[in-house]
Structure 1
Amino acid sequence: MKSFVALAALAASAFAQRIQIGVPANLAEIQPGSNITVEVDRPNSLTGSTEVALAIGLFPCGGVKGATSCSSMDVSQVLGNVVYNGPYNPQYATDAPSKPPHQNFSVTVPSTFQSGQVSLGVAHFSLVGAGQSPLYEFVNVTLVVP
């Protein structure tokens, strides 16, 4: 029984550390060659964590043979064109105190992207808890090139 409680506590602390893509919204339109802001939120938690790194990628789903949309293929671990790779240091915004700790990244949409859906993926790596357990996660949203 004690091991079950410990496992449940570990799972809860890991879940509390999960990131979210705050901006852009799912199915937002983007233009090839333009700069977009990607806001990566990390809700606050009582469990301590150390941020290690973040990678952001854009993957054109229509560029895969037979695929017509991101939902017709597995994009749950695909970064595609890496547009950011480096440190992640989420902070509260003084002008928006209701927002969770977050960091904004300005990234460039490759000019070669054609009309269709694009997966915006974020890979996140951190160390969680007193034992500094490694936590890797991947989140994504689908964007549209008109």
Structure 2
Amino acid sequence: MKFFSSLAMSAMLATTAFAQSAVIGAPLAGSAVQAGCNITVEVDRPNTLTGSTEVGIVIGFLSCVGFNSNVCPPASEIMGSILYNGPYHPEFHTNVSRSKPPHQNFTVAIPTTAKTGPGQLSVAHFNLIGAGQFPFLETLNISVNVS
């Protein structure tokens, strides 16, 4: 019986954590970026009924040129050059033309040393979830093309 209660608790925590997941809303995967130029990174966090406290995010860039078959390792292993490290306060914005979840935009610069070719934009998102405030860390990434 203890097994089933542990299984149910694990499933509930996993479901709650999944509901708190962030998404990279912009740029779109496969977008072209230029070394040394600013881009806007939109980090969305869907609205949920479960309470949470945002702790912060890290945005990184990694050039994939030179890795095995020019494929970057997972963001959970390497973030690359840190473009932003700080607070995250997603909010609803009513002045947008389409309905969006709570989000925050960050203007960051692609490193001038970025090599032409495939790259990876990564986000590490950390928050505290639920009444007990258990810690939740996730990493996200999208592929971009440096031109």
Same fold, TM-score > 0.5, yes or no: yes
TM-score when normalising by structure 2: 0.91
Q: Distance in 2 between matches of 1:113 and 1:10?
A: 39
How far 1:8 sits from its partner (Å)?
1.5
Unaligned runs of 5+ in 1: none
Contact 1:75 1:119 in 2 (8 A): no
Task: Using the TM superposition, name which of 96-105 and 16-25 deviates more.
Answer: 96-105
How far 1:3 sits from its partner (Å)?
3.0
Task: Using the TM superposition, name which of 83-92 and 105-114 deviates more.
Answer: 105-114
- The 4+ residue runs of structure 1 with deviation greater than 3 A are none
Q: Which residue of 1 aligns with 2:94?
A: 94
Q: Distance in 1 between matches of 2:66 and 2:40?
A: 23
How far 1:116 sits from its partner (Å)?
0.8
Q: Which residue of 1 aligns with 2:48?
A: 45
How far 1:5 sits from its partner (Å)?
2.4
Q: Which residue of 2 aligns with 1:141?
A: 142
TM-score when normalising by structure 1: 0.92
Given residue 121 of structure 1, which amino acid in structure 2 is its aligned partner? S
Matched pairs, number: 142
Q: Which secondary structure state, in structure 2, belongs to the residue aligned with residue 40 of structure 1?
A: strand
Q: Which secondary structure state, in structure 1, belongs to the residue aligned with residue 15 of structure 2?
A: helix
Q: Deviations over 1:86-132 (max 9, x none)?
A: 00000001113610000000000111112111110000110000000
Q: Distance in 1 between matches of 2:115 and 2:62?
A: 11
